[in-house]
Structure 1
């Protein structure tokens, strides 16, 4: 949550350039964050693929702290986790792209499309390369396919970063902006938690999914902010 807060602050600083024509180089900070998370994610993939003892201990420790014996909580988690399903995330993403295109925000629409397509496409590739098996799960949950990384976590985190970026660039009222960003953060964290709570993913699957979503989201936001700054600089030259 702290990381996402700092990212929103960086994006807000980037927006100030577009308004005040002051080159503060915030897109380079986003690039630094994106590359850092890319390295962390690559290391995480290597640890999971090699069945590291660190990952095994990590999963045991978090699973040991999560109890899902409460039936009401279990049913609630089973319902909420469906919001992070690939079909739902894809539908929301397509609707968002169409809305942005209707309002002629073509750069933002392309940004949204690229982040969501690349993040989920990479996730599918990694799943079939690592081929990690899921934990024992209840048949009623109907969770199929390989376990790592968690597709729900990748999709929800990627969408959250996209939405946070758009909120920082498009929403003017600070209270509304703060509330919307907080909702985005709670959304991705809660979806990831349900995957662990329901035991349909190992905790390291969820962490890997968040790392992957952060990586693609930040690199996409960097490209968007960089292109917006270049566009603004060119417009100043013609004034």
Structure 2
């Protein structure tokens, strides 16, 4: 297991609390001192995959640069992670990515740990925290275009499952873009699969702004 993966696991165990939190904190501090330059807090695994895939397209290796992209397992966990890797804990430089519906959680906890006051949307971006509308899947679908996403689905060998999904009563009357977004969340691991595939399919001039700005910040 590489050092950044060990760091992410230790950080997650520390943030979760419980019996293992103490030993996890010691390990996280030790690994951070070994070369973690920045922690990027993202809501889920698909966000991590998309950011790392975009970095690779730009010839960058975030891990080699000491950038640890850490999935929170849900935006409501942002407070716990800020407590362990922000000013109250490791005191590392931070950045992040969240959905617009969760922006309030990020703003409130960033202010709570002393990383700003009365933060605006622009203030969050200055800190390195960027907001997706409505979420990263939505951003990627709009950037690639519905027809381009259908080509990606076909390349993944999932055209038939997608057509079956479209035929469900709850989906038949919904716009194609909505169907595509919902389809990506129907199976475990599918969001991450399509996050990587869609980033690979992005035209260079159509990278979603939150993702592009976040990578530029790092």
Which TM-score bucket, shorter chain as reference? 0.3 to 0.5
Of the two structures, which has the highest relative contact order with CA contacts closer than 8 Å and spacing of 6 or more?
1
Normalized per residue, the structure richer in helix is: 1
For normalisation by structure 1, the TM-score amounts to 0.30
